[in-house]
Amino acid sequence: MNKMTNWAMAHSRLLFSLIGFTVFLVIGLVAIPSLFPTSSSYLHAVKIDTDPENMLSSNEPVRIFHNEMKQKFGLYDMLVVGITNPSNPQGVFTVDVLNNIYDLTQSIQNMQWEEDGKTLGVVGVDVLAPSTVDNIEQEGVGTVRFEWLMDHAPSSEKEAQVIAHKASRIPFLKDTLISGDQKALAIYVPITSKNVSYEVAQKIQEKISTFQGKENYHITGLPVAQDQFGVEMFKQMALSAPLAMLLIFLLMWFFFKNVGLIIAPMIVAMISVILTMGALVISGQTIHIMSSMIPIFIMPIAVLDAVHILSDFFDRYPKTKQCHLTVKEVMRDLNSPMLFTSLTTAAGFLSLAFTPIPPVQVFGIFVASGVLIAWLLTVTMVPAYISLLPQKSLDAFGKKHCEIEEEKSTEHKSWMDKVLTWTGKFSYQKAKGIIIGTFILIGISALGISKIQINDNPVKWFEKSHPIRVSDQVLNDAFAGTYMAYLTLSPKENIQVQFSTSELESFDPKILSQLQNHLSKTLDQKLDLGDMKKLEDYIFERQDSEVDDETWEKWDEAAQSVSKKIQEFQIFKRPDVLHFIERLQEYVLQSGVVGKSNALPDVVKTVHRELFLGKDEAYKIPDTAPAVSQVLVTYQGGHRPQDLWHFVTPSFDQTNLWIQLNSGDNRDMQSLIDAVDEFMKSEQAPLSLSHKWFGLTYINVIWQQKMVKGMMESFGGSFFIVLFMMIFLFRSLWWGLLSMVPLTVSIAFIYGFIGFIGKDYDMPVAVLSSLSLGLAVDYAIHFLARSREIKSKHETWKEALEEVFQEPGRAIVRNVIVIGVGFTPLLFAPLVPYQTVGFFISAILLLAGVASLVILPAMITLGQNYLFRSKLERNKS
Amino acid sequence: MLASIGGMFSSSANEAIQVQEIVAKASHASYYQGKSGRAKVQMTIEDKQKNQRIKKFTILREDIKNDVDEGQKFYIYFTYPSDERGTSFLVWKHLSKADDRWLYLPGLDLVKPIAASDERSSFVGSDFLYEDVSGRIPSEDQHELVKTTDNFYVVQSTPIDASKVEFSSYKSWIHKQSFLPVKSEFYDKNGKAYRVYEATKVETIASYPTVVESKMTNLVQGSHTLLKYMDVKYDIEFKENIFTEKYVRTPPRAYLK
């Protein structure tokens, strides 16, 4: 390792040229395809991906099922435009507002554009708005009427009120399209794919800005939140990260007072980030929510080692005044701790590659690479750079500090030295107390950890005051919830049917034998739907070619018999099954997280009621399957026959419940899943049904589960890897175990804290365990390595401890402060995950620093006889 | 000079008469052949996912007046699938007012008048609309002959009351000899075609050129519906007055076979 440093110092100019060349090359490889997308097909342009769905690999069963079902039931991702009008007692049901809404709906339906031969944008026919949905109601005596709920914008206030009243009578619309209090209204905007949501939202916003009224418009929905996140992610990367850099710079300047010198760690951090992110893009990876955090993770780690070098150099240089020599000396002492801190950090992140979540894998691999790049640069570029500095520029360096040191006067010692000296003494004298305190702390932390709530919600990635959060709040208060979860039911086993003897006798014998021949099966066997379809087709073919009326009749009878059997496959026309779904709907409503559910029984009941004079007692499911079937045919006589297929397949063998949650919290979705599992287990269904979820709200839960489990496993794995590395580094089991103490305490404390304050264990929090693992062990390595080295020069640990708390202690404290404080700008980020990361990075570093400086010396003090003797003995032998 | 002005008038008037005539003849060819008629229809609805649903019904028709194309009565009786068997529609089509419509649902034993203020809703969930079944009345649109080809008159029709319909106009390719529209394209408010009707098979039955297969495609939803007309008969004598509410509940079997 020293060789590498020596070579670098000897060939500094060549080294700088090489690094410079690499940086420009990487920048070029990223910039060319990004700025000129058509220039080369081998190069990858910058691709942004804000879709949390991609937290799961695209061939994950839950995603495949999700996409299959979306297609099967003709469902799209949706934006929701909510309209409220608090200043008017009639809410939005006034002539002016409804005119605007009518106008807006028309514009929304036409928001399409062509791209690469595909039509993108709004799926016009499926927009749900007052002017696009049907109203069924009574007209005059006994006449049922289908009409658009609002086929033209109203011209009188009375007309406007009528619309509100009508909509409130349609269960499908109440609390979905119009709020329960008939004051607010929502337009549901299906879009061709999630990644057009931002553009569509912009267009809607544009249209809204032309309205003069006092009404408020809120655009929300998971797709908007996700797309918006992408936009803000960029702001974040462009603003907070450099700001953090600046703050780190200022702090280093405060400590070392030499701009020329502290430029070095800044450059190391910058180049590490550029090369890592460059490699990410060049390798064709997308910049995802996770990978956008890579720079923020690499920066502190990259600066960390360099701060150690500077700190030691700062302390030693004034004594020798020999730049070259001092650098070499510093590097010799720091080489192995730096290598090991980098390796352990990299190992911590690399363990993320074994999680089942692709973006987390990418994140782990690239942060690990970034850490190693930073290490390589630190051991080559930093010493080379320092040795190149003109003597003059170093003249004042560390001088003041050195003079103070020489005076040895306590009054003139810097505050840091005072604190450090005191800490050293304290940890020696009160070693037992510290250890007991540590155990108490761990106990309390364990209690906190047991209280941890695993939860996430992409909408909550925005701050409370963010328009998306505000819209979310307003709409979920006014309506039954804007988070949709879909629950499908289908028979557990493939249905088979059988003709009874009497049924077979009703066939014309000649026709029966022809049918059996065609199928090469007798009809008294078990038959599946495929068999029946085959029979159906054959009968139609024969019947159509029949000219003789009598034979035609006979074929028609056969057709009826077969059709009746086919209906046995159509289980979701059965009243008993529909009643079961009804019960399920009532049950989920009681779970507390569901505002409303829409399902096939609601359609049947509503149409049935209107067929029977609109009387409330007719709001029920009819008694026979044919009656259900005919009610549904009547429903399909409206303007939107396709709506039925959002709830059931045309073969009526699978149904889909739309469940509206008023919160997108995974926790709430999870409790809904549990409730439904419970219901399906305890309630007797007319036939055994299997149930499966889909929808974005559900997918979020699944990736969270994978995330939590994956993170725990990867953390456990990397804990042991790091432990083995430590045992190897110190050639001692006990020293190895000792080095794991600060990180164990830090992590226990942080997660205990999270549990106590009720902060949700979400994506950034999960990732933090790996970060703390990699960083917290660093201080311990530095502290222990230097402690052992210094102890070898001293008689007793007590004496050695004093020295440990000078130069090495200062390096650790400087590190803690520079990096800990340097990341506070993240607290002002507009996105909550960045805030979380910022806060906890600072907290973890502070904690790990304190733990290393207080707990470690206390433990060494208590175990000094064993720890140092065993080493001594080993050296002798 | 006077003559030439007169000539100009007469030529444009001629054209106006001509397009009215084409449209009237087309309406006649499509809906008014013979005094009455009957067909067995097989309807295949296919959605975007290629799911097929087959329905069968018999349609009976009688014109109010023999010599002029005015009111008509339709009786539609579903025979397939078995759980929709017996579902019937009765339609009294009027030229000057909204049609009268009744629906009979055997499963509920319910005869229900349906307000037909809006005829542009789906016919039993297919891509055809009620209005396609009973025929759109020519006087509801303004017609313009936009092109004459070797075989077709291409007529552009624009609704007089645009608020009642979802299209902005439609274009029909009317066959010069038979006057059957073999294709119609409906355009949305942006002028984009979204719905296409095609007469895919024409046969001459009882001297009347008759569409025996037609297709309606919904370009937006990616679905289409195919109608096959079988056993078409014209000029049937209906002995009883079967086009009444009473017969909806007790189907006139003799005519449905």
ipTM of the complex: 0.91
Nearest residue in chain B measured CA to CA from A608: B108
What residue type is A370 in one-letter code?
G
Q: Which of A164, A201, A208, A204 is nearest to A184 (CA)?
A: A164
Instruction: Give the pLDDT score at A408.
Output: 46
Query: Which has the closest alpha carbon to A349: A336, A338, A363?
Result: A363
Q: Across the interface, do A552 and B257 touch by the CB < 8 Å criterion? A: yes
Taking CB atoms and an 8 Å limit, are B115 and A540 in contact across chains? no
Q: Would you call A667 exposed, middle or buried from its count of C-beta atoms within 10 A (0-12, 13-18, 19+)?
A: middle
What is the reported pLDDT for A413? 66
Backbone phi, psi, residue A178, to 5°: -120, 150
Average pLDDT of chain B, as a whole number: 88
User: Residues of A with CB below 8 A from B226's CB?
Assistant: none
d(CA A458, CA A220): 12
CA distance A537 to chain B (A): 10
At A79, list the tokens: 């934006």
Which amino acid, one-letter code, is at A510? K
Residue B151 burial by Cβ neighbours in a 10 Å radius (0-12, 13-18, 19+):
exposed
Pair A619, A606: CB distance under 8 Å: yes
Contact B122 A566 (CB under 8 A): no
Q: What is the pLDDT of residue A171?
A: 85
Distance from CA of B4 to the nearest CA of A (A): 47
Rounded Cα–Cα distance for residues A672 and A594 (Å)? 8
Residues 6+ apart with CB under 8 A from A501: A524
CATH class name, domain A1-65+257-307+321-329+339-412: mainly alpha
Give the minimum alpha-carbon distance from A367 to chain B in angstroms, rounded to a whole number.
44
Closest of A91, A800, A163, A817 to residue A427, by C-alpha: A800
The two three-digit tokens of residue B80, written as one number:
């397939």
Closest by CA position to B220, among listed A106, A127, A77, A80: A127
Q: The pTM is what? A: 0.87
Q: Which chain A residues have a beta carbon less than 8 Å from that of B83?
A: 563-564, 567, 573, 625-626, 629-630
Nearest by Cα to A236 from A34, A456, A463: A463
Q: How many helices (H) and strands (E) does chain A have?
A: 31, 13
Longest dimension (CA), chain A: 123
Q: What angle do CA A689, A691, A697 make, to 5 degrees?
A: 165
Whether residue A638 and residue B122 make contact (CB cut-off 8 A), yes or no, is yes
Whether A777 contacts A743, CB under 8 Å: yes
Residue A502 in tokens = 């009497």
- Whether A611 sits inside 8 A of B110 (CB atoms) is yes
Chain A nearest-CA residue for B191: A110
Interface test with A, best of B57, B121, B161 (most A CBs within 10 A): B121
DSSP A662: S
Q: Which token pair is B62?
A: 């009688």
Q: Which of A132, A633, A644 to mutate to test the interface with B (most CBs of B within 10 A)?
A: A633
Q: Is the pLDDT of residue B237 over 80?
A: yes
- Give the span between the Cα atoms of A89 and A85, in whole angstroms: 8
Which sequence spans correspond to the domains of chain A? 1-65+257-307+321-329+339-412, 76-227, 467-493+571-694, 501-569
Give the integer Cα–Cα distance in Å for B112 and A545: 35
Helix (H), strand (E), coil (C) string for A82-115: EEECCCCCCCCCCHHHHHHHHHHHHHHHCCEEEE
**In this structure, are residues B87 and B78 in contact, taking their beta carbons and an 8 Å threshold?**
yes
| DSSP secondary structure letters along A746-813 | HHHHHHHHHHHHT--B-HHHHHHHHHHHHHHHHHHHHHHHHHHHHHTTSSSHHHHHHHHTTHHHHHHH
B117 touches chain A (CB under 8 A): yes
Provide the CB-side half-sphere exposure for A22 (13 A, CA): 16
Question: What would the pLDDT profile of A371-427 be if each residue is shown by its tens digit?
Answer: 999 999 999 998 888 888 877 777 766 655 555 444 444 445 678 888 888 888 988
| B203 has pLDDT over 70 | yes
Of A567, A637, A651, the CB nearest to B124: A637
The reply to whether omega before B81 is within 30° of 0 (cis) is yes
Q: Do B122 and A628 touch (CB under 8 A)?
A: no
Express each pLDDT in A830-843 by its tens digit.
Answer: 788 888 888 887 88
User: Could B84 and A626 be called an inter-chain contact, meaning their C-beta atoms sit closer than 8 Å?
Assistant: yes
* Per-residue tokens: A55: 């937290």
Residue among B53, B121, B221 minimizing CB distance to A146: B121
Q: Angle at which helices A696-730 and A323-350 pack, to 10 degrees? A: 130
Minimal C-alpha gap between B125 and chain A (Å): 4
Measured in degrees and rounded to the nearest 5, phi and psi for residue A770 equal: -70, -40
**Residue A128: both structure tokens together:** 């749900």
Cβ within 8 Å, pair A143-B120: no
Cross-strand bridge partners of residue B199: B214
Question: Cβ B105–A611 below 8 Å, yes or no?
Answer: yes
Q: Assign B116 a pLDDT band (cuts: 50, 70, 90).
A: low
Interface with A, mutate which of B48, B58, B83 (most A CBs under 10 A): B83
CA distance A656 to A489: 7
Residue A613, min C-alpha distance to chain B (Å):
10
Query: B159 pLDDT exceeds 70?
Result: yes
| Alpha-carbon distance B184 to nearest alpha carbon in chain A (angstroms) | 20
Whether residue B9 lies within 8 A of chain A, CB to CB, comes out as no
- Name the nearest CA neighbour of A363 among A426, A299, A287: A287
In the predicted structure, residue B13 carries a pLDDT above the cut 60: no
Domains of chain B: 2-255 (2.50.20.10)
Which residue in A143, A629, A640 is closest to B114 by CB distance?
A143
* A-B contacts (CB, under 8 Å): 134
Q: Mean of the pLDDT values across residues B195-203?
A: 96
> B219 near B68, Cβ under 8 Å?
no
Q: Which residue has the tokens 């544009």?
A: A206
With vertex at residue A779, the alpha carbon angle to CA A773 and CA A785, rounded to the nearest 5 degrees, is: 120
Q: Residue B7: its pLDDT value, please?
A: 40
Q: Which positions ≥6 away from A507 have C-beta within 8 Å?
A: A515, A523, A557, A558, A561
The DSSP result for B172-207, as a single string, is EEEETTT--EEEEEEE-TTS-EEEEEEEEEEEEETT
Low-confidence ranges of chain A (pLDDT < 70): 1, 38-42, 140-142, 396-413, 771, 869-877
How far A143 CA lies from chain B's nearest CA (Å)?
5
